[in-house]
Amino acid sequence: MLHIVNKSATERSSLESCLRMATKGSAVLLIEDAVYAATNGNAAAAKIQAAAADLKIYALGPDLAARGMAGRVLDGVNVVDYGGFVDLVAEHSNCQSWL
Amino acid sequence: MSDMDDMDDGSGVVKKFMFLNRKAPHGTVYALEGLEVVLITAAFDQDVSMVFTDDGVYQLMKGVDTKGIEVKDFSKTYRALEGYDIEKLYVDQVSLDARGLTEDDLIVDVTVLSVDEMANLMAEQDVVISF
């Protein structure tokens, strides 16, 4: 399963719900305002790092760059471009968007 | 003297306006719309404070590159506020801390306020407009 989250973890609970429901080995792709959670010092960073033990965590590079966050990405988070986004969707048999 | 002569049309009255920005820049249109409203308000010679709390502090990040998502980079517009006599920019310390940010990460000079200072500033306004 590929989980896609697009809301800021410091404003909404969608990331927390996602991490609660995601099963071991699943992928979580952070896009739009959700990318802030994958940056150093963010209140949600510890949750992302803990989750990275069982899940593969990705963040969309163009969304990080547009928010001035490209240089602040947490260790263990994989940055992908739009091509990588497409590959993730194609590689997984199903996907869930946490709107 | 007619009633009309007694009426105050409000011209010349200066009120304290606070624009409260609580949203991250690109995920919603609030940040850009709020900025445009502030620039319009500047034309009316009001006492304007612009406040950034919660995810709103992300609006002021340095080093933005929006080419990849093909939207306007309006972060540099915050630097133009000074030219419109909007010089009271305030940022919430707690919000910076929760995001691992410091004043040095921001594109404009701001005054960083504690919770108590922010609360007092809010309480003394005539009008608070939230984005």
CA distance A92 to chain B (A): 24
B interface with A, Cβ–Cβ < 8 A, is 23-28, 54-55, 58, 61-69, 71, 73, 75, 98-101, 105
Selection from B85, B97, B87, B33 nearest residue B59 by Cα = B33
Q: Which residues of B14-28 are buried (b: 16+ CB within 10 A; e: fewer)?
A: eeebbbbbbbbbbbb
pLDDT for res B8: 58
Residue A98 — very low, low, confident or very high, per pLDDT cuts 50/70/90? very high
CB contact under 8 A, B99 and A42: yes
**CA–CA separation, A58 vs A3, rounded Å?**
10
pLDDT for res B43: 87
**CA–CA separation, A94 vs A90, rounded Å?**
9
pLDDT for res A13: 96
Find the distance separating the first CA and the last CA of chain B, reported in whole Å: 44
Cα–Cα distances in Å, from B42 out to A63, B5, B77, B86?
Answer: 31, 29, 14, 7
Structural domain boundaries in chain B:
18-130
**CA–CA separation, B36 vs A46, rounded Å?**
36
Residue B103 — very low, low, confident or very high, per pLDDT cuts 50/70/90? very high
Domain range spanning residue A45? 2-98
Has residue B6 got a pLDDT over 80? no
Look up the pTM and report it: 0.92
pLDDT for res B67: 97
Over residues A7-30, the pLDDT tens digits come to 999 999 999 999 999 999 999 999
Query: What CATH code is carried by the domain that includes residue A80?
Result: 3.40.1260.10
pLDDT for res B7: 55
The number of domains in chain A is 1
Q: Which CATH superfamily is domain B18-130 in?
A: DsrEFH-like (3.40.1260.10)
Helix (H/G/I), strand (E/B), else coil: B66:
coil
Query: Average model confidence (pLDDT) for chain A?
Result: 97
Helix (H/G/I), strand (E/B), else coil: B1:
coil
